[in-house]
């Protein structure tokens, strides 16, 4: 039986770990804020390094590239407690280039690295319906797949090259933010025209204009519920990675760059902790009208 470890119990990680526990898997966990481990019915340890000896497969879900580097390769990083033949699955969204380097470092110790960023928001993590885009060794992914299926309904191996999962996540994030911009502009037009927003949403979401963002974030926008499934601050971190990746490969992403600047204007107003669907507030600021109050 594979022994499992989990590092990073934030909005996404805590729910994913909880699904593993609910499925009957014993779990060794570490989180920077120890209180996040309470009530999880898992073995909480004092450092990432302590997770390694108790685990054959370690899952990591933290915020950014430097965080992954610290919890894996830092002075008390998990890699120091892992042994040859172990697997590390990184669910964080980080730099594809850095991921390739991290995988090479892990390989020197015989540890297989699977970069497996996820999409689906906090709702998907809680419901077990996340989408996983995984890069790295196919056999290592297959070892981890049965456990990943406790919190995901789509797990696609996108390439053997480490970092390929992260690059596909960049593609995903372009679609997320441009769908959110489209939903924002569409509802602003409906509002300005005096249409009932809930009825308009119901009329269009089942057709060619429908999207996950429209159906899941549209109602929140209408209700002015800015609780995050994914925060503006984290979305901006992801868009920074997208634009860096585009620069490296010479891709032109004018729409993504626009959304990055709109989110930056919201961060300047202190709105970074709000949900990424608060993008509509940038449009409200341009028109001087709040959605639902035209």
Sign of CA dihedral 235, 240, 246, 248: negative
d(CA 21, CA 17): 6
- The yes-or-no answer on residue 237 being catalytic is no
d(CA 203, CA 212): 15
Structure tokens at 155: 């797990």
b vs e for 186-225, b when ≥16 Cβ sit within 10 Å of the residue's Cβ?
Answer: bbbebbeeeeebeebbeebbeeeeebebbebbbbbbbeee
First and final C-alpha spacing in the chain:
60
d(CA 113, CA 137): 8
d(CA 45, CA 5): 10
Q: Which of 36, 169, 198, 237 is catalytic?
A: 169
Pairing of strands 112-115, 87-90: parallel
Residue 188: how many CA atoms within 13 Å on its side-chain side?
Answer: 19
Look-up of token digits 């989110």: 263
For residue 80, give every residue at least 6 positions away whose Cβ sits within 8 Å of its Cβ, in sequence order, or none.
49, 52
The alpha-carbon radius of gyration of the chain (Å, integer) is 20
Structure tokens at 205: 């979401």
What is residue 85's DSSP assignment? T
Catalytic (active-site) positions: 169
């Amino acid at each position: 039986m594979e022994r499992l470890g989990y590092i990073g119990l934030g909005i996404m990680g805590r729910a994913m770990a909880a699904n593993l526990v609910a499925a009957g898997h014993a779990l060794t966990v570490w989180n920077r804020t120890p209180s996040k481990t309470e009530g999880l019915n898992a073995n909480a340890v004092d450092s990432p390094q302590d997770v390694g000896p108790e685990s054959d497969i370690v899952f990591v879900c933290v915020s950014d590239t430097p965080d992954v580097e610290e919890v894996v390769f830092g002075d008390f990083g998990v890699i120091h407690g892992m042994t040859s033949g172990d697997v590390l699955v990184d669910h964080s969204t980080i730099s594809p280039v850095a991921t390739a380097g991290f995988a090479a470092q892990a390989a020197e110790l015989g540890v297989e690295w699977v970069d497996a960023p996820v999409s689906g928001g906090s709702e998907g993590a809680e419901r077990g319906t996340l989408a996983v885009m995984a890069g790295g060794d196919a056999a290592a992914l297959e070892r981890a797949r049965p456990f990943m299926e406790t919190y995901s309904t789509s797990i696609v191996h996108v390439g053997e090259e480490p970092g390929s999962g992260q690059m596909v996540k960049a593609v995903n994030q372009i679609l997320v933010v441009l769908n959110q911009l489209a939903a924002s502009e569409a509802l602003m037009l409906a509002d300005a025209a005096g249409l009932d927003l809930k009825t308009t949403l119901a009329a269009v979401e089942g057709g060619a204009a429908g999207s996950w963002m429209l159906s899941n974030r549209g109602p929140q926008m209408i209700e002015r519920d800015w609780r995050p499934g994914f925060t503006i601050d984290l979305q901006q971190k992801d868009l920074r990675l997208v634009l860096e990746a585009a620069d490296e490969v010479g891709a032109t992403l004018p729409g993504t760059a626009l959304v990055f600047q709109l989110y930056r204007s919201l961060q300047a107003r202190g709105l970074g902790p709000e949900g990424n669907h608060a993008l509509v507030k940038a449009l409200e600021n341009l028109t001087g009208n709040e959605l639902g109050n035209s």
